[in-house]
Structure 1
Amino acid sequence: MRAYVCVVEVRLHLNDSHDLKGKRKVLHSLKAQLRQRFGASVAEVDGHDTWQRTTLVCALVGGGDVGHRADELERFVEARCPDGCAFQRDLLSLADIRG
């Protein structure tokens, strides 16, 4: 079996968030759902001090189904953040990582 890592950068616009506390509440819930539903490792990597924009990075590890799981993750995020989101994805095999 081949092993893959898929890294998905998620840029979000949270139009309904009016302060940092509201943003943290939305992100805490979203990150927990991504971890539980997709087994993703999730981190906020940008936009810490802005209350309507943020960037998350999600990592998925597995076999050949990783790309399909990333598609599902993106659809899940789009359904919960209709104000705007953009994705960028990198898929690496274990051989790519080892060099």
Structure 2
Amino acid sequence: MWIGWIEFDVLLGDVHSLKEKRSVIRPVIAEIKRKYSVSAAEVGNHDLHRRAGIGAGVVGPDQRHVADVLDSIEHLVARRPEIEINSARRRVVSSEDF
């Protein structure tokens, strides 16, 4: 079994409140979950209205599948015009590594 995760630090465009921030972040997280059947959540910078942390995790039968899903998630987030990716960190490990 292979486990992979990706974590984004993103900058949001024209957002002036935490309420506006959540109206931008929630649809992105929902789309990631729906499209790729993975776990995803806002994982950082909860108190800042123009920055956010978004994380997603996937489990799969082989390393290639997990890496492909993470690539697809990164492309989905990068295509969103209201979001600028400051950084993206990822990791893929085998369950045998634990």
Taking structure 2 as the reference length, the TM-score comes to 0.89
Structure 1 residues 74-83 or 53-62, which shifts more?
74-83
CA distance in structure 2 between the partners assigned to 1:81 and 1:54 by the alignment: 15
CA distance in structure 2 between the partners assigned to 1:70 and 1:82 by the alignment: 20
Q: Which structure 2 residue ranges, 5 or more long, are not aligned?
A: none
1:71 match: 71
1:8 match: 6
Matched residue count: 95
Give the number of the structure whose residues are more often strand, by fraction: 2
1:36 match: 34
Query: Deviating runs (4+, > 6 A) in structure 1?
Result: none
Structure 1 residues 80-89 or 44-53, which shifts more?
80-89
Q: Which structure 1 residue ranges, 5 or more long, are not aligned?
A: none
Paired amino acid for 1:90: R
Using the TM superposition, give the Cα deviation of residue 44 of structure 1 relative to its aligned residue in structure 2, in angstroms. 1.6
CA distance in structure 2 between the partners assigned to 1:56 and 1:14 by the alignment: 12
CA distance in structure 1 between the partners assigned to 2:8 and 2:61 by the alignment: 22
